[in-house]
């Protein structure tokens, strides 16, 4: 949560009355100097899924169905798979990006073995003839580009560059966010 956890900043919570929940509140947003920042990590997968289904992601048009949390091995799931009768499946792994430094969104904000595993799995899927994509979901409005956070996890950055060399695609979108809601906004460039 680097870059969006300053003490004293206003935060916004949602209240849940479900008695089976461990906690009654979910931290949704924090007000940072240059943007509201979405911190609920469940939002990216839901919003990207709904946006693809609604045809709001042109790079992923032409598929007949979208499925969530698809098992790809005995020990792993991928966030989405898009299917079509006329083309190979497209596997999409979604990463929440809340860290922005100097207008550049960075991922990851901590060392991530799980993130490395997802990249390796996407490369294997691409090598088997499928389409594979890393979708970086920037849950704030103050980024102009994306790049891997090499100073935080250099191994992740190296793996991402190798994956792109092997055909894994990168897609980066920011959001329009306010206290009334959040929606997918603009496609942003990335730097490797």
Nearest partner of 91 among 46, 128, 37, 44, judged by Cα: 128
Q: What is d(CA 65, CA 71) in angstroms, rounded to the nearest whole number?
A: 16
Q: Which CATH number describes the domain made up of 40-187?
A: 3.40.1350.60
Neighbours of 125 (CB within 10 A): 23
Give how far the C-alpha of residue 103 lies from the chain's centroid of Cα atoms, to the nearest Å: 18
What tens-digit pLDDT sequence spans the chain (192 residues)? 556 666 777 777 778 888 887 888 877 777 887 877 877 788 899 999 999 999 999 999 999 999 999 888 888 899 999 999 999 999 999 999 989 999 999 999 999 999 999 999 999 999 999 999 999 999 999 999 999 999 999 999 999 999 999 999 999 999 999 888 899 999 999 999
Q: What is the pLDDT of residue 22?
A: 82
CA angle 18, 53, 185 (to 5 degrees): 85
Model pTM? 0.91
Extents of the domains making up the chain:
40-187
CA angle 128, 171, 144 (to 5 degrees): 155
Read off φ and ψ for residue 18, nearest 5 degrees: -70, 115
Residue burial 31-60, b: 16+ Cβ < 10 Å; e: rest: ebeebbbbbbeebbbebbbebbeeebbeeb
């Amino acid at each position: 949560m680097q870059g969006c956890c300053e003490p004293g900043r206003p935060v916004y919570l949602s209240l849940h009355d479900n008695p089976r929940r461990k906690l009654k509140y979910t931290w949704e947003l924090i007000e940072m100097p240059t943007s509201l920042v979405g911190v609920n990590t469940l939002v990216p997968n839901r919003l990207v899924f709904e946006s693809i289904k609604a045809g709001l992601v042109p790079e992923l048009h032409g598929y007949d169905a979208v499925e969530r949390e698809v098992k790809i091995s005995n020990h792993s799931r991928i966030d989405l798979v898009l299917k079509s009768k006329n083309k190979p499946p497209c596997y999409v792994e979604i990463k929440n990006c809340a860290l922005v430094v100097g207008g550049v969104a960075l991922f990851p904000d901590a060392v991530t073995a799980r993130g490395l595993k997802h990249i390796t799995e996407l490369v294997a899927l691409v090598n088997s003839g499928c389409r594979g994509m890393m979708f970086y979901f920037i849950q704030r409005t103050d980024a102009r580009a994306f790049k891997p956070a090499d100073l935080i996890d250099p191994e992740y950055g190296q793996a991402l560059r190798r994956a792109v060399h092997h055909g894994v695609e990168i897609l980066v979108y920011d959001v329009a966010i306010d206290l009334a809601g959040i929606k997918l906004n603009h496609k942003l460039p990335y730097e490797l």
